[in-house]
A and B are shown apart, each in its own frame.
Chain A
Amino acid sequence: MVAPPTDTLASLKATCPRKAIYEAVQTVGHAVSGRSALPILSHILIRAEESGLRLIATDLELGISCYIPAQVQESGALTAPSRTLTEVLGNLPDKSDVAISVDKSHTTRVNCEKSDYKILGLPADEYPQLPEVRDTVSFTISQGMMRSLIRQTRFAVGTDEARPILTGILMVFDGETLKFVATDTHRLAVKSAKVTRGTGSQNAIVPARAMNELTRLLTGDEGDVEVRLSGNQVMFNLPGENQVQIVSRLIEGQFPNYQRVIPAEHQKTLTIPAATLQSAVKRASIVARENSQRVIFRTEDTRLILTAESQIIGNAYEEIEVEREGGEVEIAFNAKYLLDVLDVIDCDNIHLELSDPLKPGVLRPVHPAPKEGETPDTTDYLCVLMPMQIH
């Protein structure tokens, strides 16, 4: 028999408001692996820091850490299974304080008013360290801007595990501008925005999951996100007193040359009211979804006619007044892809740039000329949609 480890880590004693630790457990809990071969990865690490606790969870791909102020009676660290801990903390009396401690057998004790729980854990020193991200390239960007970068591109991220490169968002930083690119080979979304400040330049493919966690945790309007890149890791330092950090492994490999996908020129441009188009496509897709989501766009002078048909359901017909430059249009798109981009494009009118029925179409927001005193919109957004065809 091996004697239980007698390291100093295996002792921690602290008290904090239940709400604070519950929220922190939820914040980091998303990084806990649902089905890992390593039991410890289903746990959360809680470590005493000066006048507070740091909670850490990781599945070795993604790590999240979060700080909460606490009264630390005894320094050290503990681990506890994420699910049990979250459930216990979530159901303890609302405005109470929680005392948390651990004994030599790695059992975590959660004490709150008249409740007393002992939760079996694992040795804290076995918990994997979050990787160090020594910044070679770093920049900061406003929370809101980061949110819209993610929101306007992540829908186009691929889900095909056979092509892992496409399951992330390509982040292109050139020292001044941050550009997000995502494609699943059927559509491509590109959004760029100015950073607040930054140094260096680097391209990195960030797994969609890390981006989703980032946008989930970016809840405020104040403050900038700091992004650090090095080697094969990216770290996001979120603003706020919780000092939330997200560390993710980058996807390695060569992202396809997305610039080649964006048509250099086009012969036809339609200017379409975005909301009208969105609701028309939404309705047409009721029929189109039974036929691989195919919606046909056709113009007659300044009318844009949307049709869809299905053997099972019937036909759909929609008409929209548009402005048209160049010849008449006939092309088919996937309704879902249209809706994905129309959902996030955020503007009154869009441009749809087209050439021929088998060439990609490009959607861009039409930014109204800035009014007096307004700063012009410096962001740049486009979404390339590959057409569908019938033969």
Chain B
Amino acid sequence: MAINRIQILDDNTANRIAAGEVVERPASAVKELVENAIDANATQITVTLEEGGKKRLSVMDNGHGMSRADSVLCLQRHATSKIKTADDLFAIRTLGFRGEALPSIASVSKFTLTSKPKDEESGTEIVILGGDIESVSEVAVRDGTTMEIRDLFYNTPARLKFLKSTPSELSRAVEAVGHLAIANPAIAFRVRHGNAETFATPGTGDHLAAISAVWSRDIARKLIPIEHESGDLRVQGFIATPDLTRPGRSHELFYVNGRPIKSRLLGHALEEAFRSLTPESRYPIAVIFVDIHPDMVDVNVHPTKTEVKFTRDGEVHHAVSQAVKSALLAYGIVPSVRSTILPTAPLDTTSLEERPPSQFQLPMPVERAAAAPSYREAPSPHNQSRHAFSDMVDAVIEGFSPSESAPHPALQAQEESAPPSTTRDPFEEEALEVRPRPKPFAEQLREFQVLGQARNTYIIALTPTGIAVIDQHVAHERVLYERLTVKRLSNGIPMQRLAIPVTITLGKREALLLAEHLESFSKSGWEIAPFGGESFVVRAIPAVLVNKSYELILRDMIDELVNQSISRRLLVLQDHVTITNACKMAVKAGDPLGMEEMRGLLEQLAETENPYLCPHGRPIVVTIAFKDLDKQFKRA
């Protein structure tokens, strides 16, 4: 007897499955809700998170609100106000359109929607438990829509267990809102976690103000505008000058028609323009808006809409690349770094522990550094095919273990999106030319002959092949940083107790942050205890600080905490505290140094693991080769 096994899923089950595609964590739920709020023409959007959004998250807007009928309908699958027919899919100008998000989210959470259009007296509140409507009632609420999600995934334990720790979920959620906030500067965003405000954008319509609020003032100050237009394709936005870089791609933001997207194509275009300007394994900071006719882009590639397909991707790649390059040229950035010793070491502070102590990276002139990825053992198939070559290079630079690495962006992008022919294969011209093995940089450093100090900021030294300019502050910072890190890893940082404890009084926000991070501070050698209100008492300090203005240093560190970009602020601060410690303790630009001090500093620098970059990622040494000088003086 045949049994009918196949049945059509009920809506609720279908929604839960769809939820798996759209909503994977609080961050994606927040993103959906905020996008809805933006589409509702809100000018103020407040996001509140509890436990990183796992316990509760709500998005409140002052947009146009929904009538009762719409409120109920919007919770139905494929109910949307944004498109009506399939043709509209190719003319999408709103952020959302599929009508999947709300029912999906509602099916896996305890969901409350309240909404009131401006022209109506009262609003509607709908409570949904795991996709089932519990109640629909009339309530008195302010104009706009509020969506609240409690206990996300409470009924799908399989998904629940994939949620990460609160700081990690929080940082993703905040990042997601941050990306939208940057794209919508005219909307005042506020993000709160518990009682603390994570960031708030002014809503003035100024992109820089929004970026400054979401990332930091320091970054916003470093940004230069980019612009490029061709036909109906317009690229604009901001990039940071190449001296400010990031260890990952967290600060490469792309928007297509206002929608935040991830695009290997655009990433490649950006990084290609920056190639040889940023140190290896450091990534540029950029906010790039691509405005393109909706015809030419398909956003319906992926359920979360984070990926797009361009119909003429070569053109888009070129436009982004051009916009970035011409900005770099216009701001005079390109020529000045021609002969920089570019570091090849990734600045990976988190993995210092695992790194072999003798790890060594070759300093290379620019054109070689550009090809540096080829030296890496990257797990991409592209590199596999080049194995013979990397073996050869390895043989040449034998003894130096290449650092651990991720697949290079350029390579990945190349495979996947096959960008236009403007891309040069990094292997072709430069890399095959194998040069005599340069001396280890540490050894070179020992050969530096200090000539003097310029502007009490730079140490000028003679090298066997040219003239080196060393930034004294960053050099010292590197030395101190490694010292602090080594200490931290071994047996703790020696602390000196204070005879006269220092009491410091902070602003509310600073106090909150400091209170949250007391443990990180304590790991770095500070004994700080709350002293009532916004006051703290400092009872012991890192012993290395005994001859420094430790109170000022502490205040600076707290300031930096406050101004940190959100993602870093929320992550474990240990390294950051160490870096800041090192930075504040180091000699400053403007401190006169004696010859002995300068020699000593270079010796100490030679002993560090990574004498190329300061912990913030700035270069330490810049050299001018005699060869280049000779050329400039027309000495054949």
User: Which A residues are within 8 Å of any B CB, using their own CB?
Assistant: 159-163, 183-188, 256, 261, 291-294, 311, 332, 334, 358, 360, 384, 386-391
- Other A-B contacts than A187-B499, A391-B522, 12 sampled, CB-CB below 8 A, are A160-B547, A163-B549, A185-B499, A185-B500, A185-B502, A188-B499, A294-B494, A311-B486, A311-B490, A388-B496, A390-B492, A391-B495
A183 to B502 alpha-carbon distance, docked (Å): 14
Contacts A161-B549, A311-B490, A391-B492: A292 and B544 contacting too (C-beta < 8 A)? yes
In the assembled complex, B548 has its CB within 8 A of some CB on chain A: yes
Closest to A357 in B: B497
Are B494 and A390 in contact, CB atoms less than 8 angstroms apart? Answer: yes
- Taking the closest CB of chain A, its distance from the CB of B603, in whole angstroms, is 14
Question: From DSSP, what is the main secondary structure of chain B's interface residues?
Answer: mixed
Q: List 5 A-B contacts (CB under 8 A).
A: A186-B496, A186-B498, A186-B499, A311-B486, A391-B522
Q: B540: which of A187, A291, A293, A389 is its contact (CB, 8 Å)? A: A389
A-side contacts of B550, CB under 8 Å:
160
Within 8 A of A (CB), among B445-491: 486-487, 490-491
A178 to B456 alpha-carbon distance, docked (Å): 43
A161, A185, A332, A384 interface centre (most CB from chain B within 10 Å)? A185
A360 to B546 alpha-carbon distance, docked (Å): 16
Contacts A160-B550, A293-B543, A390-B492: A384 and B497 contacting too (C-beta < 8 A)? no
Are B497 and A386 in contact, CB atoms less than 8 angstroms apart? Answer: yes
B-side contacts of A291, CB under 8 Å:
487, 494
Count contacts between A and B, CB distance < 8 Å.
73
Q: A163: which of B491, B494, B544, B551 is its contact (CB, 8 Å)? A: B551
- Taking the closest CB of chain A, its distance from the CB of B132, in whole angstroms, is 53
Are A292 and B500 in contact, CB atoms less than 8 angstroms apart? Answer: no
A-side contacts of B493, CB under 8 Å:
292, 390
In the assembled complex, B301 has its CB within 8 A of some CB on chain A: no
- Taking the closest CB of chain A, its distance from the CB of B484, in whole angstroms, is 11
A261 to B544 alpha-carbon distance, docked (Å): 22
Closest to A293 in B: B543
Q: A388: which of B486, B491, B497 is its contact (CB, 8 Å)? A: B497
Are B499 and A159 in contact, CB atoms less than 8 angstroms apart? Answer: no
Are A386 and B548 in contact, CB atoms less than 8 angstroms apart? Answer: no
Are B498 and A386 in contact, CB atoms less than 8 angstroms apart? Answer: yes
A261 to B497 alpha-carbon distance, docked (Å): 12
Size of B's binding interface in residues, CB under 8 A:
26
Q: A256: which of B500, B544, B548 is its contact (CB, 8 Å)? A: B500
B-side contacts of A388, CB under 8 Å:
494-497, 543
Closest to A187 in B: B499
B-side contacts of A185, CB under 8 Å:
498-500, 502
In the assembled complex, B552 has its CB within 8 A of some CB on chain A: yes
Are A162 and B498 in contact, CB atoms less than 8 angstroms apart? Answer: no
Are B491 and A390 in contact, CB atoms less than 8 angstroms apart? Answer: yes
B-side contacts of A294, CB under 8 Å:
494, 543
A187, A384, A389 interface centre (most CB from chain B within 10 Å)? A389
Are A386 and B499 in contact, CB atoms less than 8 angstroms apart? Answer: yes
Closest to B543 in A: A292
Closest to A160 in B: B549
**B 191-235 binary contact with A (CB < 8 Å = 1; else 0):** 000000000000000000000000000000000000000000000
Q: A334: which of B498, B542, B543 is its contact (CB, 8 Å)? A: B543
Closest to B497 in A: A386
A360 to B499 alpha-carbon distance, docked (Å): 8
A24 to B552 alpha-carbon distance, docked (Å): 41
Are B546 and A387 in contact, CB atoms less than 8 angstroms apart? Answer: no
B-side contacts of A187, CB under 8 Å:
499
A159 to B551 alpha-carbon distance, docked (Å): 13
Q: B497: which of A163, A188, A358 is its contact (CB, 8 Å)? A: A358
A162, A390, A391 interface centre (most CB from chain B within 10 Å)? A391
Contacts A161-B549, A292-B544: A334 and B499 contacting too (C-beta < 8 A)? no
Are B496 and A334 in contact, CB atoms less than 8 angstroms apart? Answer: yes
A125 to B502 alpha-carbon distance, docked (Å): 46
A159 to B547 alpha-carbon distance, docked (Å): 7
A163 to B553 alpha-carbon distance, docked (Å): 13
A188 to B487 alpha-carbon distance, docked (Å): 28
Are B497 and A389 in contact, CB atoms less than 8 angstroms apart? Answer: yes
- Taking the closest CB of chain B, its distance from the CB of A2, in whole angstroms, is 37
Are B494 and A292 in contact, CB atoms less than 8 angstroms apart? Answer: yes
